[in-house]
Structure formats: C-alpha cells, structure tokens
C-alpha cells in the first residue's frame, strides 16, 4: 500500500489514490502500444484485477445483514445484478485481449483462383416494405460492383409491381414467393432453392439489406478471403449514411460515433482473433457449398445471422471478419425503430440459448463458441437490468429508508473510484475514444424496458415470435414523442422528485445504485450485440 501523509483524512487519502490511478491512465498511451497483444493483455488484466477487487468488496462489506426483510432483499438483488454485469465486463476484457486484421490477407489473395476463371457470385437484396428511394440506391450500387461474373437478385417479399418494373429496366432479377414464411431467412432460402433448381447456382453469394449500398470493391475484397477453404462466410462492418437516433436527438452526429462503431471496429476484430466472429445479416458473402452443407439459412431464431455462424462452426466452417468499410446503409432513424431492432436482437439470442445450439446443449460447438454465446447472454441479462436498477433502487431509500449499498465514501473512492477511472481510461485507449461515459449509457438505457421484456419472453417462450422489420427511410423533419417508451422513466423521475422531497428518515448515508451503475458505462459493450444481432 502506498504511504500517504498522516495528516490527510481517510477520504482525502482515497481521493489521492484515485487521482494516482488517473495519472497512471493518462501516462499509458506514452508507454504502451495497444496494437501489441502483450500490451493489451497487461492493460486488461489490470482492469480485471480491479473489477474482482471491487466486486469482492461489494459482496463482503456493503450488503445488508442476512434476514427476511426489505433491506437484505434489495441489497442482495442489486448485488446479483451487478455480479452478472461484472462477469460480462470481465468476459469483454478477455475477449479484447486478442484481435485480428485481415487487410493484408485480402490483398495477398486477391486472385487466388487464377489461372482459372473467377468464381460466379450472386448479390441478393432482401426487401419487404422499403421505399422506392431506398431500394433504387441499393440496386444501382449492387449492379455497379466490380466483378466479372455477377447476378443481382431483388428478393421482394412485398410483391410490388413498381419494383418488378424497376428491376426489369436495370436487368436485375426480381424474385417473389407465395408467402413470407420465416421472414428474411425464408426469403433467402427460397431464392437459393430457385437458383439450384435452375442449375444456376453461384459459387458465392452476398446478402445485403434493402438499405445497404456496396462499394465497387465489396466483392473483390471479400471473395479474396475464401482462399481458405475452411471459411464459410465473410462478414464486413456496417457503416451508415445517417446519424442514429441518439446522435440525432442530442445533436452529436459530428462529434460522437454511432452506437455500433465499438462493436464493428473493436468487438468483431476481437471475436475474429478468438475464431468466434459472427454474421450480422447484411454486408456478408457466403460460400454456396457451405450453405448447402448446413441445409440453408436456419429459421429457429429471429436473429438468423448469429445462428448461421454457429451452424457453420458446428460443421467446422468459420466466419471471417474483414474490417473494411465496404458497404453503407441506413441506421434506425427513430427511437422506436432503434429499440425494436435491439429488442429483436435480444429475443433472437434468447431463442438461440434455448435451442439446439445453445451454450449448455449437447452439440458440436467448441468450448470457445459456447463461451462466446454465454458472453452475449450475460450482456443482455446483465447490462440492461442493472442500468434500470440504477434508476429504480434509489426509490427504496427515498420512501422506505432502505440502504441498498451500505458503504462509506472513502471506501467507495478506494474501490469503485479506482476501478472506474482505470477501466474508463483503458477502454477509451483501446476504443480510440469511441466509449464516452453518460452518452454511451444513454444509448443503452433508452431501450432497457423493452429489451428486458424481450429477454423474459425469449427465455420462457422461445417459439412463435414474428420477425419485426426495422423501418428505414423515415421522415426526421417531424417531432415524434415516444410516450410509451418514455413512460417508465417519467414515472421514475416523478417518484424520485417526490421521494427526495419527503425522504424517509435515516442516519446513514445511502450510496445509491446510480453511482455504482456508472462503472458499466465504461466497460464499452455495445450489443449485439447481438450484440449484433
């Protein structure tokens, strides 16, 4: 322990140690190179050590005495939520210790098929109800890709006459089917079966959402990675023309990156470093023989893309991630659409967990694949409930005098403060400034209630859920207030204001969950994940 001057108070000593941690963080970029694996490991092991130190202190020093009362129930519940969140953060730290960059690999294998002819490629644009302006841009982009043997197909589950006319005008094939069973996955499977029945199967095929426009070199860069015959699918990052709802509503589109940047720029390369990169639906290219081997796109989850990568991996076929901006599309334009999309990702992951390729099921997945799915599960089950608890649990103090976290300020500074400062600094260093406290937290908490509801529905009733399409090309000139989405937070705010004015008497100082929840926003987890999907 570092000896500090004896005349300093206990609080001052703790604050001084926190400032020392801040100083170390400031100096890190001068001595460490995050491109080197050993340096990344050192940084992240430090974060993990402080996380374990913090959660041990929380479990041994801050909980209410065991008993059948509200204090213990509230204190224990919050601790369990935080424990799940900390475990997810530790998983993220381990994941980020590795990363893979395939840029040189794609360049060196640009024409691996030579001296033979280049492989045949089909570009499939899946659409349902997108507007004409959105689709025209995507179709024109697809027919402009630089590839000698390519066919563009528009898979129209909306069965629109104007789209058939537009496709005919541009020599693009317009494909429809009699029903919309299994949504996007069913749409693609129908088109692939049609091509095979005609004896016109391609060697590779690309999948684009209706709003995504490929760059001219999209296929030349992606197909290069199929020189490795164990690669079944190549995924590229999603970039966007427009600001996402958080950027737009806060007026930060020029100064704050879109919410998906951390996932695509840092999490996916790290996943690829571990061999567990995942398909994210659009902007991907797949080997035809690989899809035929697994029997087509899986339809057991509304996030068929994530499940597709797991199905491929079970057969020994990997997903490669090429971190180059090769397509651009539209981010969800309204807060409602934004939340619907993320709730669907959460629901789909829960369906995967409950299905044949879940992390606890008997299947052919490797241990690291199971760990990858479990990590995503922890993200959805830990991050959002813990964030919401950070807003709701202080009410227990205001109205009932319940001390949820019984801690002294010096201890909070010494344990939580040190962890917060170091983890925030390390994550910002690794992410090159894309993880910003409060702003990152807003993007997560805005959809907490629908996402928690989706998690419960997916775990308890995994089957029978319809695929909800994310609307694109909306009008941002109108002001739309999402009252239904806002209502839980308006109620919490009203109760907090009322409670703070007439708080239950207590001689103890409450360390509310709003403070302890802040550690999570610096862990840098974005989604999707699944995280994407």
Using alpha carbons, select from 354, 368, 384, 511 the residue that is nearest to residue 85. Answer: 384
- Catalytic sites, residue numbers: 157, 305
What band does 516 get if pLDDT is binned at 50, 70 and 90? very low
Is residue 170 in a domain? no
Is residue 524 in a domain? yes
pLDDT of residue 509: 45
Tell me the C-alpha to C-alpha distance, in Å, between residue 1 and each of 14, 62, 409.
Answer: 12, 22, 19
Is residue 41 in a domain? yes
- The 10s digit of each residue's pLDDT in 349-365 is 999 999 999 999 999 99
Is residue 321 in a domain? no
Is residue 218 in a domain? no
Is residue 82 in a domain? yes
- The answer to whether residue 127 scores a pLDDT higher than 90 is yes
Is residue 430 in a domain? yes
Total structural domains in the chain?
1
Q: Are 345 and 303 in contact (CB under 8 A)?
A: yes
Q: Average pLDDT in the 529-533 region?
A: 40
Distance CA 263, CA 533 (A): 11
pLDDT of residue 526: 37
- The answer to whether residue 169 scores a pLDDT higher than 50 is yes
Give the range of the structural domain holding residue 420, as residue numbers without chain letter: 10-98+379-531
Using alpha carbons, select from 428, 344, 345, 442 the residue that is nearest to residue 390. Answer: 442
What band does 472 get if pLDDT is binned at 50, 70 and 90? low
At 319, list the tokens: 């997903």
Averaging pLDDT over each range in 63-72, 211-220, 514-523, which range is the top one?
A: 211-220
Q: Are 103 and 323 in contact (CB under 8 A)?
A: yes
């Amino acid at each position: 322990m570092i000896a500090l001057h004896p005349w300093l108070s206990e609080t001052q000593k703790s604050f001084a140690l926190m400032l020392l941690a801040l100083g170390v963080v400031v100096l890190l970029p001068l001595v460490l190179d995050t491109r080197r694996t050993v340096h990344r490991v050192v940084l992240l092991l430090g974060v993990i050590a402080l996380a374990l130190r913090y959660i041990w202190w929380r479990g041994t020093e801050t909980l209410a005495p065991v008993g059948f009362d509200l204090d213990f129930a509230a204190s224990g519940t919050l601790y369990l939520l935080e424990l799940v969140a900390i475990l997810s953060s530790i998983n993220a730290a381990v994941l980020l210790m590795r990363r893979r960059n395939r840029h040189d690999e794609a360049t060196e294998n640009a024409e691996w098929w030579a001296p033979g002819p280049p492989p045949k490629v089909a570009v499939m644009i899946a659409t349902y109800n997108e507007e004409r302006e959105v689709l025209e841009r995507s179709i024109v982009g697809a027919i402009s890709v630089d590839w000698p043997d390519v066919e563009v197909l528009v898979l129209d589950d909306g069965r629109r006459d104007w789209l058939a006319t537009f496709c005919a005008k541009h020599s693009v094939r317009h494909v429809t089917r009699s029903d919309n069973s299994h949504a996007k996955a069913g749409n693609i499977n129908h088109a692939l079966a049609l091509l095979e029945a005609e004896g016109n199967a391609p060697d590779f095929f690309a999948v684009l959402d209706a709003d995504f426009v490929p760059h001219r070199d999209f296929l030349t860069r992606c197909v290069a990675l199929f020189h490795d015959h164990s690669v079944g699918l190549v995924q590229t990052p999603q970039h966007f023309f427009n600001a996402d709802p958080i950027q737009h509503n806060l007026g930060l589109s020029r100064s704050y990156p879109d919410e998906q940047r951390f996932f695509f720029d840092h999490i996916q390369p790290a996943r690829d470093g571990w061999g567990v990169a995942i398909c994210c639906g659009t902007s991907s290219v797949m080997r035809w023989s690989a899809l035929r081997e697994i029997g087509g796109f899986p339809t057991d989850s509304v996030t068929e893309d994530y499940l597709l990568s797991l199905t491929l991996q079970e057969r020994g076929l990997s997903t490669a991630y090429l971190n180059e901006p090769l397509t651009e599309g539209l981010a969800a334009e309204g807060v409602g659409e934004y939340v619907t999309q993320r709730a669907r990702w959460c629901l789909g992951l829960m369906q995967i967990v409950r299905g044949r390729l879940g992390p606890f099921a008997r299947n052919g997945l490797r241990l690291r694949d199971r760990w990858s799915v479990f990590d995503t599960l922890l993200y959805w089950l830990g991050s959002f409930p813990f964030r919401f608890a950070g807003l709701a649990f202080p009410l227990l103090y205001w109205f009932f005098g319940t001390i949820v976290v019984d801690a002294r300020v010096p201890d909070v500074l010494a344990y939580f403060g040190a962890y917060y400062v170091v983890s925030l600094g390390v994550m910002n260093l690794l992410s090159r400034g894309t993880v910003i406290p409060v702003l990152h937290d807003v993007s997560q908490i805005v959809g907490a209630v629908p996402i928690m509801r989706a998690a419960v529905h997916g775990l308890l009733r995994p089957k029978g859920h319809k695929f909800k399409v994310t609307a694109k090309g909306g009008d941002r000139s109108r002001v739309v207030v999402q009252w239904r989405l806002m209502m839980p937070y308006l109620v919490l705010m009203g109760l907090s204001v009322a409670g703070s004015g007439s708080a239950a008497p207590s001689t103890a100082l409450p360390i509310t969950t709003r403070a302890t929840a802040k550690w999570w926003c610096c862990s840098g987890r974005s989604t999707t994940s699944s995280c994407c999907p």
